[in-house]
């Protein structure tokens, strides 16, 4: 009987335990009266909400977040285990790199600048102060600007250029915050060389080394302009890189007084070509000019560059000028000339351009054709002994006419 009674007592204790937990579970399953907490919550305490464990800034669901606001994930107590942030922009999803602090209390992105017109998704997992794991999923969207700016870049991607090429960005809007825009543009070279920027007004930013590029140099231009505020409320749009290669060195010296052009390739004289330069009333600029455009055939109308007759028509209008190479944005060309006779090497008769003998329609066996076939965009044409001023450094790619000290002084970052 003792043995049976002992077993009965033990069974009674077990039954009481079962009934106790059953009562707790029954309380957890029901939700009645004014007290809606579960039985387990009344006994063990309510677990903290994920938003109390993991704090995300900007807050979940926020719209129109400005680019200067900062993305931050933190835990008031406990430790972050993992944070994953994804930016959806222009139909592309990009992971946002960042780091958890050494003490596990926070996560910050490597780049503090938020992308515009983007949707951010944050997924974080953390342990609270009691060792309980919590997870949180939040989203927010950023400001969509109404105005954007872009930069039109010279030279073209994957092009092979002459040693005098200057990297030039022409912006479609005036730039107030030059420093921010300048920081967002990188120009690098292999082999490495010191490359510096120079601003011409509010819409143009050029880059060049101290001396002409070495042949074979590969230059890479990186535009990190996207979401950079160039002027109040005006943000950049481009985020891309492109490269070009420097070909052989060719620098030609036009002597307006001697009516000749010496063509040098890699410092060796290839030829001395007879030319005609600007007439006394329309002299050719002195200085270093860079070929920016090459046209097999083009029309030249004096009215477009200020040479007009009393009736408003151009002093000249030639529909088929052969072998034309642009030297300045104001209209100076080096080109073939088939309409003037017995002037090359003798007298200057042009309206400011440099002319070489050619035939109508152009031919490769003429001085103009020979030079055109051996030229590249980026080659340098230097004019000396002309009775004119030096070409302005912003007229075409005339930056080589500035000293290195003058060039560096034109950067926005000192």
How many domains, in total, are found in the chain? 3
Backbone angles phi, psi at 99, to 5 degrees: -140, 140
> Phi-psi region for residue 82, left (φ > 0), alpha (ψ -120 to 50) or beta?
beta
Q: What letter does residue 37 receive in the DSSP assignment?
A: S
Give mean pLDDT, residues 241-257.
97
Q: Is 335 a catalytic residue?
A: yes
* pLDDT at position 324: 95
R_g of the chain, CA atoms, integer Å: 37
**Mean pLDDT on 367-392:** 98
Rounded CA separation 265/165 (Å): 16
The predicted-structure confidence for 42-65, as pLDDT tens digits, reads as follows 444 566 788 889 999 999 999 999
Q: Is the pLDDT of residue 13 over 50?
A: no
Alpha carbons 207 and 403: distance in angstroms, whole number: 14
Asked whether the beta carbons of 197 and 205 are under 8 A apart, the reply is yes
CA–CA distance, 287 with 305 (Å, rounded to integer) = 20
| Mean pLDDT to the nearest integer, 163-188 | 97
Residues 220 and 269 in one domain: no
Kindly state whether residues 393 and 315 are assigned to the same domain.
yes
| Strand 106-109 relative to strand 72-74, pairing | antiparallel
Helix (H) or strand (E) holding 57: strand 55-57
**Whether residue 323 lies in the annotated active site:** no
Mark whether 218 and 281 lie in a shared domain: no
The C-alpha atoms of residue 86 and residue 273 are separated, in whole angstroms, by 62
One domain, residues 199 and 308 = no
Q: Among the options 198, 323, 351, 353, which is catalytic? A: 353
Q: Which of 247, 274, 300 is the last residue of a domain?
A: 247
pLDDT above 90 as % of the chain: 76
**Same domain for 254 and 243:** no
Q: Identify the pLDDT of residue 90.
A: 75
As a whole number, mean pLDDT of residues 298-304 equals 77
- Asked if 258 and 389 sit in the same domain, the reply is yes
Query: pTM value?
Result: 0.75
Rounded to whole angstroms, how far apart are CA atoms 13 and 1? 18
131: pLDDT strictly greater than 90: no
At 53 the pLDDT is 92
Q: Is 43 exposed, middle or buried (0-12, 13-18, 19+ CB in 10 A)?
A: exposed
Q: What is the CATH number of the domain that holds 70?
A: 2.60.40.3780
Residue tagged active-site, from 198, 323, 335, 351: 335
The verdict on residue 11 lying in a domain is no
Q: Do 392 and 265 belong together in one domain? A: yes
pLDDT greater than 90 at residue 268 = yes
Beta strand ranges found along 151-226 (DSSP E): 151-154, 160-161, 167-171, 185-190, 195-200, 204-209, 218-224
- 281-291 residues labelled b (16+ CB within 10 A) or e (exposed): ebbbbbbbbbb
Range of the domain at 160: 147-247
Whether the predicted pLDDT of 11 surpasses 90: no
């Amino acid at each position: 009987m003792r043995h049976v009674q002992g077993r009965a007592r033990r069974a009674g204790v077990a039954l009481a335990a079962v009934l106790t937990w059953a009562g707790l579970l029954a309380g957890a399953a029901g939700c009645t009266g004014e007290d809606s907490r579960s039985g387990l919550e009344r006994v063990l305490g309510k677990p903290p909400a994920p938003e109390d464990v993991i704090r995300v800034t900007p807050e979940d669901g926020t719209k129109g977040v400005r680019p200067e606001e900062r993305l931050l994930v933190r835990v008031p107590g406990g430790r972050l285990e993992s944070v994953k942030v994804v930016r959806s922009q222009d139909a592309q999803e990009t992971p946002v790199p960042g780091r958890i602090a050494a003490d596990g209390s926070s996560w910050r992105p490597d780049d503090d600048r938020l992308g515009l017109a983007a949707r951010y998704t944050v997924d974080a997992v953390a342990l609270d102060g009691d060792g309980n794991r919590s997870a949180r999923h939040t989203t927010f969207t950023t400001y969509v600007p109404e105005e954007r700016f872009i930069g039109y870049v010279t030279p073209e991607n994957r092009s092979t250029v002459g040693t005098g090429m200057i990297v030039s960005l022409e912006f479609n809007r005036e730039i107030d915050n030059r420093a921010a825009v300048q920081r967002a543009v990188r120009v690098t070279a292999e082999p490495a060389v010191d490359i510096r920027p120079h601003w011409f007004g509010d819409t143009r930013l050029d880059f060049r080394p101290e001396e002409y590029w070495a042949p074979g140099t590969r230059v890479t231009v990186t535009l990190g302009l996207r979401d950079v505020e160039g002027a109040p409320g005006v943000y950049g749009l481009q985020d891309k890189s492109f490269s070009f290669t420097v070909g052989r060195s060719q620098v030609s010296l036009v002597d307006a007084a001697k009516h000749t052009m010496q063509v040098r390739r890699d410092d060796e004289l290839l030829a001395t070509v007879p030319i005609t330069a600007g007439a006394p009333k329309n002299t050719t600029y002195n200085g270093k000019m860079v070929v920016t455009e090459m046209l097999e055939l083009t029309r030249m109308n004096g009215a477009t560059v200020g040479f007009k007759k009393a009736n408003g028509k151009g002093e000249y209008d030639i529909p088929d000028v052969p072998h034309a190479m642009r030297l300045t944005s104001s209209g100076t060309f080096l080109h073939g000339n088939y309409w003037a006779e017995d002037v090359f090497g003798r007298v200057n008769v042009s309206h400011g351009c440099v002319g070489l003998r050619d035939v109508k329609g152009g031919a490769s066996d003429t001085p103009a054709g020979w030079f055109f076939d051996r030229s590249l965009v980026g080659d340098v044409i230097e004019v000396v002994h002309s009775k004119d001023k030096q070409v302005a450094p912003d007229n075409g790619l005339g930056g080589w006419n500035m000293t290195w000290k003058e060039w560096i002084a034109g950067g926005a970052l000192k």
